Chain A
Amino acid sequence: MSAAATRKLTRKEQRAVDSQNRLSSPAASVIAIVIAIFWTIPTAGLLITSFRPENDVRRTGWWTVFLNPNFTPDTYLDTLETDGLVNSLINSFIITIPGVIMPILLALLAAYAFAWIDFKGRNFLFAAVFALQVVPIQVTLIPLLSQYVRWGLAGTYWTVWLSHTIFGLPLAIFLLHNFMKEIPQSLIEAARVDGAGHVRVFFQVLLPLLVPAIASFGIFQFLWVWNDLLVALVFAGSEYSPITKFVASLQGSFGGSWHLLSAGAFISMVVPLVVFISLQRFFVRGLLAGGVKG
């Protein structure tokens, strides 16, 4: 057994050595570095621009700061004073928080039924929900909008929350169901034999085990809702519009004002970046559970 273990180790080491060789072969490292630069420079350029004085931004390219550094936080102060920015940032939070919580609550209920109650038509219904994931939301927008208008809800937060909940549900049910299915059946059955009802099984047995799954979907939905433009353009009234819509319109009206645009864009990106970087682990897990299993 120990021989097998050492052999396993040396193989792993061998592969590590191989990959180092791979990266130290000049062509390979050049390719990797070129890709990394190509993926970093555009963002870096706009970030640097957002800290340059307005006159510099107009006259010279951002790469000149390396010869002639000149930074100021003024652009951010100006941008924060731009009419509507703070308001739309608050709207983004108000739209996103329920837009994440609501589909999770509903999907937990539905995924539980799909995973642990055996009923007629279960497979058909589940397949239908899975299939609806691919319906492009464009197909639904105009009839939904007409319905909201008939109900007198058009333009309010409520329609935005409801729409994001609906559009998030199929993926939420699918992901949470997959994670729930991985929980050993014996755990559930033991609890049921002890006389626990569905509610107690759910809260005492399943929920603690599902925290990573909920986190995975939560991040997906958070990024999707926070970064969404289309739903906001169609459903949110001007008073209740999120930061993406604000930045997009800033781009339309101040096409040339790169100092305002750069700072505005970065203000809109800070929150998703922080969430993403701090919860990256769960995000990757969700990605892998959603498409490729195993």
Chain B
Amino acid sequence: MVWLMKPESVPEKILVMFFAIALFALVVGLVLAVVDRPKFPKWVPVTGYLGPALVLITFGLLWPGILTIRNSFMDANETAFIGLDNYARIFTDAQFLTVLRNTLLWVALVPTVATAVGLVYAILVDRTRFEKVAKTLIFLPMAISMVGASIIWKFMYEYKPKEADQMGLVNQVLVWLGLEPQQFLLVPVLNTLMLIVVMVWIQAGFAMTVLSAAIKAIPDEIIEAAKVDGVTGMRLFWWITVPSVRPAIVVVLTTIAMGTLKAFDVVYVMTGGQFDSSVIANEFYTQSFNRGQPNIGAALAVILFVFILPIIVYNVRQMRISEGER
């Protein structure tokens, strides 16, 4: 049975994969076959259908979440209860305060800029001949991994001394303009802004897609009525389009904000969190797995969750309100 756990060759690996899928399908099939008898009371099929999913969610999300909250109040060996010490350290230590400041910068800038770009672009290309192609261009970064996007942009930011030929386009543009090339990823605050550009680049496609659908759903009559009243151009944009798609804008902003808080790949790949560029999601990984401080990692994860909580509450309330309107 060793090969089931530690397959070595490629055929063995593929065999294990099919075995796993078959095992899974078998369990689901058994549930279906056993549970569905007319004479059974209703709770039997309900337990059968919901059971597997709820057990996994409890085991893999709920319970670990509770343990992590507990561990955030323990010392590094997870033996002694130390109250709020971990949190106190995070909120006083200069290094962690930088991490918090960066995270706030990310969560303030990425959703707003990505949504603004997505909205403007969606309006500009709406119902034009190039709409489909134009949208696909902005959309594609969503398909590739954040690792891939990070490498694409790290290459854009590549630095060579002034005398040498530049490899990175951004520095080449600076040289063409007669400026000094910059080490974008090594200089604090500038590096965080440059990483934020990457995240905006990844997220704008999502904003564009959702907002574009919302724009298309604005009733023609409203636009017509505004035109009759002589509202055009920028005023049409601010007074008609933006208010009409406001619920969609809220959902896009909050969704991107949550995605931004959780994303760690960009920082991990591009700077590894060095040069004061870390964010909570990345610092969690560094502290937990590289620095041997899972208690600090746990506290960071809890802080991350606490940051996300008000956003989701707001999001759900907005959805309720807009559903009530309909």
Chain A residues in the interface with B (C-beta under 8 A): 8, 11-12, 15-16, 19-20, 22-23, 28-29, 31-32, 35-36, 38-43, 45-46, 49, 57, 59-63, 90-91, 94, 97-98, 101-102, 105-107, 109-110, 112-114, 117, 119, 125, 129, 131-132, 134-144, 147, 152-153, 156-158, 161-163, 165-167, 169-170, 173, 197-199, 202, 223, 226-230, 233-234, 239-240, 244, 247-248, 251-252, 258, 261-262, 265-266, 268-269, 272-273, 275-277, 280, 284, 287-288, 291-294
Contacts and interface: CB of A to CB of B under 8 A. Distances in A.
B285 A230 contact: yes
A144 B117 CA distance: 39
Given A142-B294, A229-B147, A262 B155 contact: yes
Contacts, number: 325
A249 to B, nearest CB: 10
Contact of B308 (A38, A134, A140): A134
B48 to A, nearest CB: 8
B167 interface: yes
Given A43-B140, A229-B265, A247-B151, A129 B57 contact: yes
Nearest to A23: B128
Nearest to A165: B56
A266 B247 CA distance: 37
The 10 A-B residue pairs with the shortest CB-CB distance in the complex, in nearest-first order: A166-B60, A227-B145, A276-B143, A143-B64, A140-B64, A113-B49, A110-B53, A143-B67, A32-B124, A19-B127
Given A198-B35, A227-B147, 16 more contacts: A15-B223, A23-B125, A31-B124, A91-B13, A107-B53, A112-B49, A125-B50, A140-B60, A156-B5, A199-B36, A227-B145, A229-B264, A230-B285, A251-B150, A252-B272, A266-B148
Interface stretch (B86-94, B102-110, B203-211): B203-211
Contacts of B252: 291-292
Nearest to A86: B10
30 contacts: A39-B138, A39-B140, A42-B153, A59-B165, A94-B17, A97-B21, A105-B25, A109-B52, A125-B54, A136-B304, A136-B305, A138-B285, A138-B300, A141-B288, A142-B68, A143-B71, A197-B37, A199-B33, A202-B32, A223-B143, A226-B145, A247-B147, A258-B158, A261-B155, A262-B155, A265-B148, A268-B148, A269-B148, A284-B213, A292-B248
A157 B213 CA distance: 39
A43 B8 CA distance: 36
B136 to A, nearest CB: 7
Contacts of B68: 139-140, 142-143
Given A36-B138, A247-B151, A45 B156 contact: yes
A247 B261 CA distance: 23
A135 B262 CA distance: 9
Nearest to B172: A61
Contact of B255 (A41, A161, A251, A291): A291
Contacts of B129: 20
B24 interface: yes
Contact of B59 (A28, A42, A166, A280): A166
A260 B146 CA distance: 18
A171 B235 CA distance: 39
Nearest to B264: A230
A119 B130 CA distance: 50
Contact of A63 (B10, B43, B169): B169
A138 B45 contact: no
Contact of B289 (A135, A234, A277): A234
A269 B144 contact: yes
Given A227-B145, A268-B147, A139 B36 contact: no
Contacts of A39: 137-138, 140-141, 201, 204
Given A143-B68, A269-B148, A156 B6 contact: yes
A19 B134 contact: no
B194 interface: no
B65 A139 contact: yes
Given A109-B31, A113-B45, A169-B57, A292 B137 contact: no
Interface in B7-40: 7-8, 10, 13-14, 16-17, 20-21, 24-25, 28, 31-33, 35-38
